[in-house]
DNA sequence: AACTGATGCAACCGCCTGCTG
DNA sequence: ACAGCAGGCGGTTGCATCAGT
């Protein structure tokens, strides 16, 4: 279900989180509150990049997270909010206590897949066209949403949707016009924090770690 | 029982935005 | 106004598990 753990060229651990790492991260965040995610791995003694730590905390370790299947009410809420906000998963997640944007996004994608499949089985020719529209709706947004172009300026596009929550149709595919941007240097996220805290790759301290203020894991 | 395709979901990646100096 | 940094977001990927044959 999860990627096998491995270390990249910089010695940064990727892939599935171990129980030990979870403990370290949870303890650190709970103790320090809103952390500096970039510095966290260094101080907490994790061979992860800050981004990975933040993601793990937000999507899995955060308290009051709901797990398991969605209730009918939640499903309906997601449908309604997606209709309203489009693929603004974080916005949708705000309205669903205990659910993360990642979880909702995953749910939506699998939900759309189901719809696609149902479409294909019910109608042959129309299916491909409908499927295209449904898929488009997942990568764009509803008619109420502004569309951001290359200039980053809101531009409306004409689209309509039917009574069905998922059958959107649009005049044209704006995605293609979003353009490509030159890659920004985001290497800071993956920079290792192993300078002074040179890790043994199989070792994660679980007793004590020294940082700006002493951090103890029990 | 063995195989295979589908599904679910955790995690990664690239990019965007807001803040600060 | 500009550059650099940090946090956040949305899309995509990898892989374990499930379901069907």
Q: Where are the domains of chain A?
A: 6-49+190-216, 72-178
CB A142 within 8 A of CB A82: yes
For residue A121, the model assigns a pLDDT of: 58
Looking at chain A, the whole-number percentage of residues with pLDDT higher than 70 is 51
Give the residues across from A216 on adjacent strands.
Answer: A208
For residue A116, the model assigns a pLDDT of: 62
Maximum C-alpha span of chain A:
66
Q: Which residues contact A127 (CB under 8 A, 6 or more apart)?
A: A119, A120
Residue A218 in this model has a pLDDT that exceeds 50:
no
Distance CA A134, CA A108 (A): 11
CB A135 within 8 A of CB A115: no
CB A204 within 8 A of CB A21: yes
Res. A136 pLDDT band, cuts 50 70 90:
very low
For residue A137, the model assigns a pLDDT of: 46
Give the residues across from A155 on adjacent strands.
Answer: A147
Average pLDDT over residues A180-203: 38
Q: Does the reported pTM lie above 0.75?
A: no
For chain A, the average pLDDT equals 64
For residue A87, the model assigns a pLDDT of: 83
For residue A112, the model assigns a pLDDT of: 73
Distance A208 CA to B7 C1' (A): 41
Q: What is the DSSP letter of A59?
A: I
Strand B contacts in A 86-105 (CB under 7 A): 102-103, 105
Q: Can you tell me which residue has its alpha carbon closest to the C1' of nucleotide B11?
A: A15
SS3 at position A202: coil
For residue A52, the model assigns a pLDDT of: 92
Would you say the C-beta of A170 is within 7 Å of strand C?
no
Q: Tokens 């149709």: give the residue.
A: A169
CB A78 within 8 A of CB A108: yes
Residue A198 in this model has a pLDDT that exceeds 60:
no
What does R_g of chain A's alpha carbons equal in angstroms? 22
Q: Which of A2-6, A70-74, A98-102, A123-127 has the lowest average pLDDT?
A: A123-127
Strand C contacts in A 51-90 (CB under 7 A): 51, 54-55, 87-90
Average pLDDT over residues A175-180: 32
Q: Which of A33-37, A112-116, A137-141 has the lowest average pLDDT?
A: A137-141
Would you say the C-beta of A193 is within 7 Å of strand C?
no
CB A55 within 8 A of CB A46: no
Average pLDDT over residues A175-183: 32
Distance CA A115, CA A106 (A): 14
Kindly give the residue spans of alpha helices, DSSP state H, lying in A12-167: 19-32, 40-44, 50-56, 72-85, 89-94, 101-122, 125-139
């Amino acid at each position: 279900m999860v990627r096998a753990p491995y270390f990249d060229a910089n010695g940064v651990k990727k892939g599935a989180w171990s129980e030990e790492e979870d403990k370290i991260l949870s303890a650190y965040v709970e103790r320090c509150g809103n952390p500096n995610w970039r510095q966290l791995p260094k101080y907490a003694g994790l061979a992860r990049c800050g981004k990975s730590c933040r993601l793990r905390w937000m999507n899995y370790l955060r308290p009051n997270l709901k797990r398991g299947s969605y209730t009918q009410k939640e499903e309906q809420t997601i449908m309604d909010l997606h209709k309203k906000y489009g693929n603004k998963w974080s916005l949708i997640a705000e309205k669903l206590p205990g659910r993360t944007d990642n979880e909702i996004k995953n749910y939506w994608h699998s939900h759309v897949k189901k719809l696609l499949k149902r479409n294909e089985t019910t109608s042959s020719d129309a299916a491909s066209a409908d499927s295209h529209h449904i898929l488009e709706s997942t990568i764009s947004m509803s008619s109420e949403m502004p569309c951001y172009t290359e200039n980053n300026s809101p531009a409306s596009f004409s689209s309509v949707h039917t009574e069905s929550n998922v059958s959107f149709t649009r005049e044209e595919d704006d995605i293609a016009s979003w353009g490509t941007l030159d890659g920004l240097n985001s290497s800071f996220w993956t920079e290792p924090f192993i300078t002074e805290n040179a890790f043994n790759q199989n070792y994660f301290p679980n007793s004590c770690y020294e940082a700006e203020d002493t951090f103890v894991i029990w």
